[in-house]
């Protein structure tokens, strides 16, 4: 089969094109060739975290890969048969664990048996979802789509030292993805948040959480807010962050923010809470981050999906473009304007385990 050509400079031109492409290739068995990888970034080509993502997907799909080296702007990926088992992947830097997991997530539905995957690197680093967002929001959607998955945080890792460790356990892969109908979020049931700090005074956790809770209560009054403080001293740190999420009648929406040198703890909490409040105000069932992450799953799924997203980002538009190339059997239509609320309708390709 001739490889499908993917231009990595399309749309937002970043690493998500690579992650979506190799994931769908591994699931469908369709070989791909990607050129101009991360062409619109200041440091184009594969970096360590991207390379680890490629190696992880290749290992689990028994793929033949050409061009997998740091700095490479072209990659050929020829997938084989998926396999379960135990795997460990070490990014070797503070590269994002959650972005490697994002590349692996579609494969987990189609594995022929149970899997345990350990990923080491950055769990809470810039330009990627934090591990708490993944555990509380992404994992909820994976379960909603039919996957029984457990994501355990064993150690946090921050920029620049990394060293975080995450375990992903899948016991009984379903062999397919269920469609999703979430045209609205329904009423708010309660809020949760987790404020962490590693090798820093506990008051950093407390101030982050207090600030986030003030923002939530200023908009939602007496809503139930469950706060978890997580001061730790077992990481390479220092580092801090906060994730906040809202359970609604039909969905879960979330947001996060990270601390950095010179940034007040109160700002960290406020940033996360403001993003969540903005997304909740749209009435959408998916926050701005899940709005783009969900697209490959729905294209592979069985049957029709209808969801609403808080923000039609460039990431989402690019993901739609990539998925249309790789899964032409799926029909993907959306209504809405860029950076605004949108409705997504997908007739899935009904891909099942081989």
The predicted-structure confidence for 143-170, as pLDDT tens digits, reads as follows 999 999 999 999 999 999 999 999 999 9
Is 196 marked active-site?
no
State residue 28's pLDDT score: 98
SS3 347: strand
154 is in an annotated binding site: no
pLDDT band (50, 70, 90) for residue 77 = very high
Of the listed 50, 158, 196, 315, which one is catalytic?
315
pLDDT for 1:
82
pLDDT confidence of residue 237: 87
What torsion, rounded to 10 degrees, do the Cα atoms 194, 200, 204, 209 define? Answer: 0
Q: How far apart are CA 102 and CA 53, in angstroms?
A: 9
Q: Computed from CA positions of residues 221, 223, 224, 225, in that sequence, does the dihedral angle turn out positive or negative?
A: negative
The DSSP secondary structure of 255-298, one letter per residue, reads EEEE--TT--HHHHHHHHHHHHHHHHHTT-SB-TTHHHHTHHHH
Per-residue pLDDT tens over the stretch 215-258: 999 999 999 999 999 999 998 989 999 999 999 999 999 999 99
Global pTM?
Answer: 0.97
């Amino acid at each position: 089969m001739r490889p499908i050509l993917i231009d990595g400079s399309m749309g937002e031109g970043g690493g998500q094109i690579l992650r979506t492409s190799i994931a769908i290739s591994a699931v469908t068995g369709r070989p791909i060739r990607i050129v101009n990888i991360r062409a619109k970034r200041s440091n184009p080509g594969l970096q360590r975290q991207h390379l680890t993502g490629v190696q992880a997907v290749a290992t689990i799909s028994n793929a033949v890969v050409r061009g997998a080296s740091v700095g490479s702007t072209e990659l050929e990926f020829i997938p084989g048969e998926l396999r379960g088992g135990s795997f460990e992947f070490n990014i070797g830097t503070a590269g994002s664990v959650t972005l490697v997991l994002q590349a692996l997530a579609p494969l987990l539905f189609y594995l022929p048996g149970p899997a345990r995957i350990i990923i080491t690197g950055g769990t809470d680093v810039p330009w990627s979802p934090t591990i708490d967002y993944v555990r509380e929001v992404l994992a909820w959607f994976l379960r909603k789509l039919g996957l029984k998955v457990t994501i355990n945080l064993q150690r946090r890792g921050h920029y620049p030292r990394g060293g975080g460790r995450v375990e992903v356990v899948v016991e009984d892969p379903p062999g397919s993805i269920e469609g999703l109908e979430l045209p609205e979020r329904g009423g708010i049931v309660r809020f949760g948040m987790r404020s962490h700090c590693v090798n820093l005074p506990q008051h950093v956790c407390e101030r982050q959480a207090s600030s986030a809770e003030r923002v939530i209560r200023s908009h939602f009054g007496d809503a139930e807010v469950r706060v978890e403080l997580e001061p730790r001293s077992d990481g390479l740190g220092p580092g801090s962050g906060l994730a906040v999420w809202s359970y609604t009648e039909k969905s879960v929406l979330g947001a996060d923010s990270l601390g950095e040198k010179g940034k007040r703890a109160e700002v960290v909490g406020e940033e996360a809470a403001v993003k969540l409040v903005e997304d909740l105000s749209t009435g959408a069932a998916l926050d701005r981050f899940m709005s783009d992450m969900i697209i490959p799953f729905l294209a592979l799924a069985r049957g029709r999906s209808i969801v609403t997203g808080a923000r039609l980002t460039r990431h989402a538009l690019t993901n739609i473009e990539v998925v249309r190339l790789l899964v032409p059997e799926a029909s993907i239509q959306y209504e809405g304007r860029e950076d605004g609320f949108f409705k997504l309708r997908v007739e899935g390709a009904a891909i099942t385990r081989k």
